[in-house]
Amino acid sequence: MNFNATLIGQSITFVFFVWFCMKFVWPPIMNALEARKKQIADGLAAADRGKHELELAAKAAADNMRDAKSQAAEVLAQAEKRAAQIVEDAKNAAKAEGERQLAAAQANIEQEANRAREGLREQVAALAVAGAERILRREVNAQSHADLLNQLKAEL
């Protein structure tokens, strides 16, 4: 074993190699490894998040479906109620109209009957006067007897 300047040369070489490795070899490789690790972790996290979001979306969809169904049922019930209402209203209106027309017809009939009765009454009075004329066989003064005849007419 004899030592010489190789010792110093080797030390310098060693220091230089370590410096180079520290500067240009280790950091890029380590960074790449770290970045890859992070990317993988991020990917896994994103997958988890996606799964979670899918679950949420499925749940929201089911909720929406249920809401829509209940809304539709509500609308349907309302429509049915409204239809029944309309039918009922129409029925009532028709009934009222019928009654009104009935009343009018009855009034009309009564009026007709009164008019007929009046006519009959005048004819009976004329017949009575004509009868009296025949009985008296002579013409009485119609004018002097008008009061009497009118009184008779009113009594009939």
Partner 1 sequence: MAEAHTSGEYIKHHLQNLTFGQHPDGTWGVAHSVEEAKAMGFWAINVDSMLFSIGLGVLFLFLFRLAAKRASVGVPGGWQNFVEWIVEFIDDSVRGSFSHRNAMVAPLALTVFVWIFLLNLMDLLPVDWLPWIATLAGVPYFKIVPTTDPNVTFALALSVFFLVLYYSVKMKGPGGFFAELAFQPFQSKNALLKLVFMPVNLLLEGVSLIAKPVSLALRLFGNMYAGEMIFILIALMFGGGVLLGVFGGVLQWAWAVFHILIITLQAFIFMTLTIVYLDMAHSEHH
For 110, other C-beta atoms within 10 Å of its C-beta total 10
The C-alpha angle 90, 94, 98, rounded to 5 degrees, equals: 175
We find the least distance from the C-beta atom of residue 51 to partner 1, in angstroms, to be 24
Distance CA 153, CA 121 (A): 8
Q: Which is nearer to partner 1, 36 or 59 (CB)?
A: 36
Q: Which is nearer to partner 1, 17 or 113 (CB)?
A: 17
Q: Which is nearer to partner 1, 30 or 84 (CB)?
A: 30
- Contacting residues toward partner 1, per CB under 8 A: 1-11, 13-15, 17-18, 20-22, 24-33, 35-36, 39
We find the least distance from the C-beta atom of residue 41 to partner 1, in angstroms, to be 12
Q: What are the tokens at 153?
A: 């007419």
